[in-house]
Every structure is written in structure tokens, then in C-alpha cells.
């Protein structure tokens, strides 16, 4: 009798332990393995973005995601799943982005991440291609007399936690034999408040982000100025976890397809009419003539057409979110096509 009770007790303990273990494990399901297969099986793309960078990724008053990064996620979803709306956007702090990628919580990270050797070699992260060429700049209140970076010698400068901006800041001031007091700020969205309440004399971040900060400030965007100097290169790229070359290739060529589309005059409006001003070009090869290419990539034949149909070509995407069609009005600069003196260049299809 006693033995029976002990056995029942033991089995109850086993059941309890098993339940605890399973509950703990089921709390936050994520995927591992072949990313493309997982995305297809799931029918949704998990895309890691920032929740708060105007022009890149933010929610409008209706809760709809918008921005350059958001559009790129939609282009990948359209290419892989045939529908640009099949994306789950996962807002991430800067410090959460790589752990989320490593843990396969997201399939793709498009969160203003700089392409660096350290990330590639040490963290084994792959950067398919540059989505936006940025550079680190400084924002100051418009009313101050500061016009050049040298005038910030000894000043307090706000920097967002978890980014490479702090190291760049220190390196620049050290090499120019100046001193600086970095003040860590949890999020770039606090920059405007930090400048206005005098916690720091300047803020440093990507120039595009600083332009957005001006928009977020209470009152007029003219409350702030960006100093002319740039202290580092910031090639912002989508990122994928290393080891899945097939997925890297797809993400890379979705971006190149958008660039090629712009190069060859293919737009959101004319892409389905299949009329290209310069046939037969690379775009024609991407747009369905080369079924074997799509087969090799593991995507549907019309993947490039669907990507452009979802978000437009690269130029359209840029102007709508960052350029003339946006409140930011950021000049394309190095983000122009190579044919126009910029750095945006897609390799040939064959």
C-alpha cells in the first residue's frame, strides 16, 4: 500500500516536472533550421525592425507600419510568399536585435544595422547588400553658436545605448586630440528632449536618424541643425544569421531586383505590364524569363515582379519614405544609382 502511494507520488512528480518543463519551453516558440522552408511553411515572414525611426520603421496613427526598412521586409515577403502583407514586424531595441536573430525569433533583421567586419567575422552575421548609405553626424539645437565639430571639445554628447556610435565618437575625439563626455540615452527618440532640457550639447547618431529627430521635436523641425562633418561610414544593411546561404541570396537579390528595376525604368505601376524601356535587360531575366533561376533560389518565378509590385523600385521606395515624398526630405546623395553618380549598384543577373 505504502509502495503504491510512493509510486503514485513519484508519477505525480514526473508529470509535474514534465508539465513545468513544457510550459517553460512553449512560452516563446521560435524557429530554427532552413529559414526559407520555415518562412514558407509558416506563411509569414518575421522581420525585426525598430519601432521608432521615422522614415525607416514606425507605426502611423492607424498602427500601420511604414518606412524604408518596413518596405524592404514587404518586398522580401512578396518575393517569397507572393504577398507583401504577409509580414510580422517585430520591434526590437538595438541591444535585442542580434540575440533575436541568433535565436531565430526573426528571419530577417532590417533595423539600421551597420555592415561591419566584426559582425560578420565574430558574430557570423551576413549582410546581403547595402540598403542605405548613411554616416554618423551630430545634431545641435539651432539656437546655439556651434557650427563645427571642433566647437564640441569638452562638451557632453548624447549617444544611444547598444550602438557603434559611442566607439566612433570616442575614436574621433581621441584622434583629433579633443575630449568629450558621452551620455548614454536609452533610445534615440529621447534625443530631442535631451537637447532641449540641456542634458547634452549635441547628439550623435546616423544622419538619417538625426533628421528624423528634428521632426519629432516639439514645435518646428527648424529647432535643430545637423553639423556638416561626418565621422564614420554607416552602410546600413539587412542582416541574416550566417550559415543559410540560400536565404542570404534571396534577401540580397530582392534588394538588387529593386535597384535593377529602377535602373531599367520598371516601376510599381508598369511592372505588371511587363513593358521595359530597355529590353532585353537584367530586369527581363529576373521578371520571369529565367524560371531556372527562381527554381534554384527556391522562390516562385514572378518573385521580382511581386517585390516591385509590393513596394515599387528602389527609387520609389526611397522617395516615398526618406526623400521628396516624405517629411524628412533627405537628399539621395550616395544612395543614387551608380549611373547617376551614386553607390547603388546591382551585379548582373547573368
Partner 1 sequence: MTDLQIYLTLVTFAVVIGVIALDLIDMMVAGLLGVCILLVLGIIEADDLAAALRIAAGPLSLLFGGMVVARVLAKTGIFERVGKLYLRATAGSGKRFLLLLVLIVAPTCAVLPNATTVILLAPVIIRVAQELQLDFVKPMILTAIVSNSAGMLTLVGDPATFLVGSSIGMTFGQYLQKVSLGGLLAVLVIIPLLPALMPQIWHARSNVPAETVDAPIERPGFVVLGLLILGLMVVLFLIGEELPTRIVPPAVAIIAATLALLVIYAVRIEPLDNVMRDLDWKTLIFLGAIFVLVQAFSKTGLLQGMGLTLNRWFGSDFALVALVLLVGIGAMSCLLANIPVVAASLVMTKGFMVAAEAVPDVALAGGFTDWPAATLPVFIAMMFGATLGGNATLVGASANIVSVGICAKHGQQVSFSRFLRYGLPITVAQLVVSAIYVMGLTWLSR
Q: Which is nearer to partner 1, 3 or 61 (CB)?
A: 3
Query: What Å distances lie between residue 309 and 8, 37, 55, 269, 271, CA to CA?
Result: 63, 23, 20, 7, 7
Nearer to partner 1, 31 or 215 (CB): 31
Of residues 158 and 328, the one with the C-beta less far from partner 1: 158
Size of the site for partner 1 (CB under 8 A): 43
Least spacing, CB of residue 105 vs partner 1, in Å: 5
Residues in 20-79 that interact with partner 1 by CB under 8 A: 20-22, 24-33, 37-38, 41-42
Taking CB under 8 A as the binding criterion, the range among 8-16, 73-81, 132-140, 268-276 that sits at the site for partner 1 is 8-16
187 binds partner 1 (CB under 8 A): no
Q: What span, in angstroms and rounded, lies between the C-alpha atoms of 328 and 305?
A: 28
Task: Please give the grid coordinates belonging to residue 243.
Answer: 550559415
Question: What span, in angstroms and rounded, lies between the C-alpha atoms of 327 and 297?
Answer: 37
CA distance 136 to 189: 16
Q: How far apart are CA 2 and CA 108, in angstroms?
A: 57
Site string for partner 1, 151-180 (x = CB under 8 A): ----------xx------------------
37 versus 290: smaller Cβ distance to partner 1: 37
| Residue 118 in the binding site for partner 1 (CB under 8 A) | yes
Interaction of residue 181 with partner 1, rule CB under 8 A: no
Using CB under 8 A as the binding rule, whether residue 230 contacts partner 1 is answered as no
User: Among 47, 49, 119, 139, which residue interacts with partner 1 (rule: CB under 8 A)?
Assistant: 119
Least Å distance, CB 7 to partner 1, is: 5
Q: What is the torsional sign of CA 226, 229, 235, 239?
A: negative
Q: How far is CA 86 from CA 65, 70, 81, 306, in A?
A: 13, 12, 7, 13
- Whole-angstrom distance, CA of residue 28 vs CA of residue 13: 24
Task: Determine the Cα–Cα distance for residues 4 and 10; give it in Å rounded to an integer.
Answer: 10
Q: Which of residues 87-106 bind partner 1 (CB under 8 A)?
A: 93, 95-96, 98-100, 102-105
Give yes or no for residue 343 binding partner 1 (CB under 8 A): no
What are the residues whose beta carbons fall under 8 Å from the beta carbon of 24, sequence distance 6 or more? Answer: none
Residue 10 is a binding residue for partner 1 (CB under 8 A):
yes
Residue 18 binding partner 1, by CB under 8 A: yes
Between the alpha carbon of residue 345 and those of residues 53, 131, 292, 341, the distances in Å are 25, 11, 24, 10
Instruction: Please tell me whether residue 123 binds partner 1 under the rule CB under 8 A.
Output: yes
Residues 95, 60 contacting (CB under 8 angstroms):
no
Phi, psi of 277 (to 5 degrees): -65, -25
Q: Which stretch binds partner 1 (CB under 8 A): 18-26, 145-153, 205-213, 307-315?
A: 18-26
Nearest to partner 1 of 47, 337 (CB atom): 47
Task: Based on the shown chain and the rule CB under 8 A, indicate whether residue 217 belongs to the binding site for partner 1.
Answer: no
Stretch that binds partner 1, among 54-62, 121-129, 230-238, 333-341 (CB under 8 A): 121-129
Q: How many CA atoms lie within 13 A of 310 on its CB side?
A: 30
Q: How far is the CB of 51 from partner 1 (least distance, A)?
A: 14
Spatial distance between the Cα atoms of 291 and 252, rounded to a whole number of angstroms: 18
Which residues bind to partner 1, rule: CB under 8 A? 6-7, 10-11, 13-15, 17-18, 20-22, 24-33, 37-38, 41-42, 93, 95-96, 98-100, 102-105, 118-119, 122-124, 161-162
Amino acid at each position: 500500500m505504502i509502495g503504491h502511494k510512493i509510486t503514485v507520488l513519484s508519477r505525480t512528480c514526473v508529470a509535474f516536472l514534465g508539465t513545468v518543463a513544457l510550459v517553460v519551453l512553449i512560452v516563446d516558440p521560435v524557429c530554427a533550421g532552413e529559414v526559407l522552408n520555415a518562412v514558407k511553411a509558416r506563411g509569414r515572414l518575421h522581420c525585426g525592425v525598430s519601432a521608432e525611426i521615422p522614415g525607416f520603421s514606425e507605426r502611423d496613427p492607424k498602427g500601420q507600419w511604414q518606412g524604408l526598412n518596413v518596405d524592404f521586409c514587404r518586398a522580401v515577403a512578396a518575393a517569397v510568399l507572393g504577398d507583401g502583407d504577409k509580414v510580422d514586424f517585430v520591434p526590437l531595441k538595438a541591444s535585442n536585435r542580434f540575440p533575436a536573430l541568433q535565436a531565430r525569433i526573426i528571419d530577417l533583421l532590417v533595423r539600421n544595422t551597420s555592415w561591419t567586419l566584426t559582425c560578420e567575422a565574430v558574430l557570423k552575421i551576413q549582410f546581403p547588400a547595402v540598403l542605405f548609405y548613411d554616416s554618423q553626424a551630430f545634431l545641435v539645437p539651432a539656437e546655439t553658436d556651434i557650427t563645427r565639430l571642433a566647437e564640441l571639445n569638452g562638451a557632453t554628447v548624447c549617444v544611444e545605448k547598444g550602438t557603434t556610435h559611442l566607439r566612433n565618437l570616442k575614436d574621433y575625439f581621441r584622434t583629433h586630440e579633443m575630449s568629450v563626455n558621452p551620455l548614454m540615452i536609452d533610445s534615440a527618440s529621447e534625443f530631442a528632449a535631451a537637447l532641449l532640457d540641456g542634458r547634452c550639447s549635441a547628439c550623435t547618431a546616423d544622419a538619417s536618424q538625426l533628421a528624423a529627430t528634428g521632426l519629432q521635436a516639439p514645435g518646428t523641425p527648424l529647432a535643430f541643425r545637423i553639423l556638416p562633418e561626418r565621422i564614420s561610414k554607416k552602410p546600413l544593411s539587412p542582416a541574416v544569421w550566417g550559415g543559410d546561404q540560400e536565404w542570404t541570396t534571396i534577401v540580397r537579390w530582392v534588394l538588387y531586383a529593386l535597384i535593377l528595376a529602377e535602373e531599367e525604368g520598371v516601376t510599381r505601376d508598369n511592372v505588371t505590364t511587363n513593358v521595359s524601356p530597355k529590353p532585353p535587360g537584367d530586369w527581363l531575366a529576373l521578371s520571369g524569363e529565367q524560371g531556372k533561376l527562381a527554381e534554384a533560389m527556391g522562390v516562385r518565378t514572378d518573385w521580382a515582379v511581386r517585390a516591385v509590385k509590393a513596394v515599387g523600385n528602389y527609387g520609389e521606395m526611397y522617395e516615398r519614405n526618406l526623400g521628396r515624398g516624405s517629411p524628412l526630405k533627405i537628399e539621395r546623395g550616395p544612395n543614387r544609382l551608380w549611373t547617376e553618380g551614386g553607390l547603388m549598384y546591382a551585379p548582373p543577373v547573368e
